[in-house]
Amino acid sequence: MIETRGLRKSFRSRAGRETKTVDAVRGVNLDVAEGEIFGFLGPNGAGKTTTLRMLATLIEPDGGEATIAGADLRKDPAEVRRRIGYVAQGGSTWDESTAREELVLHARLYGIGKAEAHRRAARALDAFQLSDYADRKCKTYSGGQRRRVEIALGIIHEPKIVFLDEPTTGLDPQSRAHMWDEIRRLRAEGMTVFITTHYLDEADALCDRIAIMDHGEVVAEGTPAELKREISGEVVIVGLDAPATPRAAELLDTEAYVNKLETVDEGGLRLYVDEGATAIPQVLRRLDGAGLDLRSIELHRPSLDDVFLTKTGRSLRES
Partner 1 sequence: MKFARDTWLIFQRQFQLLLRNPVWLFVGVFQPVMYLLLFAPLLKAALNAPTQAAAYKIFVPGLLVLLAIFGGLFQGFGLIAELRAGVIERSRVTPVSRLALLLGRSLRDVVSLIAQAIIITLLALLFDLRVFIGYLLLAYLMLALIALMTSAVSYGVALKVKSEDALAPLMNTVAQPVLLLSGILLPLALAPGWLQGIANWNPFSWAVDGVRALFAGDLSNDKVWQGLTIIAVLAVAGVVWAARQFARSVR
Ligand X SMILES: Nc1ncnc2c1ncn2[C@@H]1O[C@H](COP(=O)(O)OP(=O)(O)O)[C@@H](O)[C@H]1O
Binding site for partner 1 (CB under 8 A): 56-60, 78, 81-82, 84-86, 88, 90-97, 101, 105-106, 108-111, 153, 157
Least separation in angstroms between CB 45 and ligand X:
4
Q: Does 280 bind ligand X (CB under 6 A)?
A: no
Please list every residue from 52 through 91 that binds Mg ion, using CB under 5 A: 89
Based on CB atoms, which residue is closest to ligand X, 293 or 318?
Answer: 318
Report how many residues bind ligand X under the rule CB under 6 A.
12
DSSP β-bridge partners for residue 84: 161
Rounded distance between C-alpha atoms, residue 220 and residue 233, angstroms:
17
CB atoms within 10 A of CB 223: 13
Binding flag, residue 209, ligand X (CB under 6 A): no
> If we measure between CA atoms, which residue out of 92, 121, 86 comes closest to residue 105?
121
Among partner 1, Mg ion, ligand X, none, what does residue 286 contact (CB within 5–8 Å per kind)? none
Residue 51 lies near Mg ion (rule: CB under 5 A)? no
Q: Which does 58 bind (CB under 5 to 8 A by kind): ligand X, partner 1, Mg ion, none?
A: partner 1
Among 4, 50, 145, 197, binds ligand X (CB under 6 A): 50
- 50 contacts Mg ion (rule: CB under 5 A): no
> 220 touches which of Mg ion, ligand X, partner 1, none (CB within 5 to 8 A by kind)?
none
- C-alpha pair distances (Å), 227 with each of 39, 95, 113, 223, 305: 13, 42, 46, 6, 11
Q: Does 61 help bind ligand X (rule: CB under 6 A)? A: no
Among 4, 49, 192, 197, binds ligand X (CB under 6 A): 49
Nearer to Mg ion, 9 or 48 (CB): 48
49 binds Mg ion (CB under 5 A): yes
Min dist. Cβ of residue 86 to Mg ion (A): 13
Task: Name the residue nearer to partner 1 (CB basis): 82 or 247.
Answer: 82
Query: CB 191 → ligand X: shortest distance, Å?
Result: 22
* Smallest distance from Mg ion to CB 91, Å: 13
Centre a 10 Å sphere on the Cβ of residue 10 and count the other Cβ atoms it contains.
14
Binding site partner of 106, from partner 1, Mg ion, ligand X, none, Cβ cut-off 5-8 A by kind:
partner 1
User: Is residue 60 at the binding interface for ligand X, with CB under 6 A as the rule?
Assistant: no
Contact positions vs Mg ion (CB under 5 A): 48-49, 89
Contact positions vs ligand X (CB under 6 A): 11, 13, 22, 24, 42, 44-50
